[in-house]
Structure 1
Amino acid sequence: MNLAEICDNAKKGREYALLGNYDSSMVYYQGVIQQIQRHCQSVRDPAIKGKWQQVRQELLEEYEQVKSIVSTLESFKIDKPPDFPVSCQDEPFRDPAVWPPPVPAEHSIQRECFQLLPIQCDIGCGFLLTSTFFYTSPQGRKNMQDGASDGEMPKFDGAGYDKDLVEALERDIVSRNPSIHWDDIADLEEAKKLLREAVVLPMWMPDFFKGIRRPWKGVLMVGPPGTGKTMLAKAVATECGTTFFNVSSSTLTSKYRGESEKLVRLLFEMARFYAPTTIFIDEIDSICSRRGTSDEHEASRRVKSELLIQMDGVGGALENDDPSKMVMVLAATNFPWDIDEALRRRLEKRIYIPLPTAKGRAELLKINLREVELDPDIQLEDIAEKIEGYSGADITNVCRYFFNDLTLGD
C-alpha cells in the first residue's frame, strides 16, 4: 500500500470540496477510505492500527459533511408543484396594449468563502499525514465573535477627520457587496488564474501564506482600455467576500491644501476598519506618475508620498496583524511606463490583460446578447472572427448600437 497515494487522495478530496467540486471530492473520499480500510487489515501493530482507524473516522466525518452539502444543494433544485390547482379563471385580465411588470432579476447566492486549516496526524512508521480542511472565512468568524447580526453593519468612526470627507468616501467608493462573478467575464482565463493565485488564495488561506509565502503587497493590472480590468477587480472582491473600494484620481483630489493627503490616509484607515478589503485604484498613472519631473506640483508630490507610505503600512499589516485584517491593493493602468518606480516596486505582482481572443469575442457576444432571441442561422463565431482587435467595451457598444437602431426602426 502506497502511503503517499493515500495522503495525495485525501488532499485532493479536501481541495475539491474547497473549490465546490463536490462530486469529485466524494469520489476521492470514498477511494481513500477504502484504501485505509485495506491498509488497516495488513497492519499488525495495535497502536498504529488504532491511529489509522482514527484517521479513517475523521475522513468519514468529512465525507458525511460533503454529502450533506450536496444534498442541501440538490434540495434547492427541486421544483415543488403548487398545493392547489391554478385555473385560467383565477388569472387577472391582461390588457395586450399594456406592458407587464418587469420580472425581478435573479441574483446568484454567493458561496461563503472558506479558508484551509492544516490537519496533521502521526500514523506511525515515520509517516505524518498532513492535509487541510475548510472552515468559515475570517470575516465570518469576526462577525460571530463580535455578535453582529445580519442587519447590523459597523460604522466607521471618523474622529479627527472632516465629517463631509468621511461621508463622501463612504458614499462614492465603498461597495460592500459587488455582484460581479468570474462567469460574468469572458475569456481571460490566464488572468483569472493569476488573480486567484495572487489575491484569492491568500485570503482563503492566511495561515499558509506566511514568511516567504506572504501575499503580494499589491497587484498591477496592465492592458489596453476596455479589456475588463475593473470587472476583474470586482470579481476578486466578490470571490473573497471583501469590501470593495473603487478609487479614482478625482476621489483623492481636493482644492484645499493638505486635504488630498488626508483623503489618502482616511481611505486606508477605512479600508483597515472594514477589513478584509480590496482597494482598486483605476488609472493609477494619473495619481502616481513619475516624481522629479519639471511639471510636477508640490501638492501632487505630497499625495504620492502619502500613498507610498500607506501602502507600506498595508504590507506591515499583512505580515504582523490578524489575517482577517488583510487589505489588498489592486491597481490598473494603460500606461505602466508612466508610473513612479517606488510605486511599481510596491505593486509586486504584474498581470497583463490582453484584448479578447476569437473565443473570448464569441463569449462576449453571447453575454451581451443573452436577453435577445437570435435567429438559429446566426453564427456568433463568424462575427467574432470579423471583429478582431475589438476590446470588450467595443463589442458591448457595437451590440448596444445595433439593437438601439433596430428598436427605433432605423
Structure 2
Amino acid sequence: MYKKLDKIVISHLMIILFWGLLFKNKMLVEGGPILNAVSLILFFTLYGLIYTEISNKKIPRFFSILVIFTSLLPLSLILINDFPYKVAFALISLASTSVFIKRYVILENIKYINILPISRKSTQIFTIGLVFFIFAVIYLFDIEQVMINIFTQIIFLIMEIFFILFLKEKELAFENTFKLYYLSDYMTSERDEFARIIHDDIIQDIFASRNYLSSKNPNIEYSKNILSNLEEKARKIMKFYQSSLFEKANLETSILAIFDNVSSLYPNRNIKIQRFINRNFIEDKRIIRLISIVSKELINNIYKHSEAKYLSYKLYKKENCVLIEIDSDGVSREDFNNIKESRRGVLLLNLLIGSNSGNIIYELNKDILSTRVYLEVDNSENYFVGRS
C-alpha cells in the first residue's frame, strides 16, 4: 500500500522545490491571496489523493498517475508570476481531483484511515496544537507569507513521509505474519498428507495381511508378498520424508537419490528425465542441504500436479550464483496461475530461497513450464549469503 503513495510524496517534494526555485529567481507570484489559495488547495488535494489511494486498492495505475499531472502540475504552475490562465488551471486541478475522489474513494474505508500513526483523538489534539504553534511562530518571527506557506507545506510533507514509513513497517509485519500463517497451514497439510499415506499405503496392507493369516486356510505366501511389498514401500516413503539423507552424500548423489525417491512414489508416472549436474561444487553440507530441499520440492510438484511427459533438470554454478533450471511439459494455464497464487508449497519455497538471498522465476510457454532458481554464494567462504 505504501508504494502507491510514493508518487504523491515525490510530487509534493518537487512542487516545494519548484516554488523555491521560483522564489530564488524572483519569479514567484507576489499576490498574497493567490499564494494562500494555492497552498490551501494543494493541502486538501494531497489529503484527498492520499485517502482515496488508501481506501481503494483497485485504482487503475494509469488513472493513479494521470491525476498527479492533472491535479498537482497545474497548482505548481499557477505560482509563476507571469503565467496566464491562473483561474483556468486552478479549476482544472479542482475538477480533476474531485472527479478522481468521487470515482474511486470508498467511504466505508475512510473511517479506518488516519494519516498520523496515532489515535483519532490524539490526531485532533496534535492538529489543533500544530495550528496554534504555526500562528505563534508567524506572529513572533514576523514571517513573510511565502515562507509561511513553504513552512506549512514542509511540515505536511514530513507528515506524509512518516506516514509512508509507518505503513511500510506495518505492511512488512503483516506480510511476515501472513507468511507464517500459511507456512503453518502448509505444515499441517503435510502432516495430513503423511497420515493419509500411512493409512492408504501401510495400514491397509497390514490389515489385509492380518486377515489372510487369520483365516482358516491362511495364505502365507500371499501374505509374505504383501509384507515384502509393504517393506519396500515403507522404505521409499521413509527416504522421501527423511531430509537428513541430504547430509550423508555429495551433491550429485543427493540429487539422483531425490529423483529416485520421488519417482518411486508415483509408479504410474512415466516421465523421461534429462539431468545435467555440474560436478565442480565444493562439498559443503549447507549448500547440499539447501539445493536438495529446493530440488525435491520442485520435482515432487511436477510429479504431483502436472501431466508431464519429460523433465529437464540443470544444476550449475555461474559466478557467485548457483542456478537450478527445470523445464517440464504438461502444464496448463490454470496450473501456472495456481503456482503463482499458491500459499503453501510454493510459499515455502519462496521463504526458503528468499532467506538465502535468492529468487525463483516461473515462465510458461504453451504447456512448457520453466522454473529458474537463483541462489547467491559467497565465493570467498563458499557459504550461501544469508540476510540479516
TM-score normalised according to structure 2 size: 0.26
> Which has more helix, going by share of residues?
2
Q: Which of 1 and 2 has higher RCO (CA within 8 Å, sep 6+)?
A: 1
Larger Rg: 2
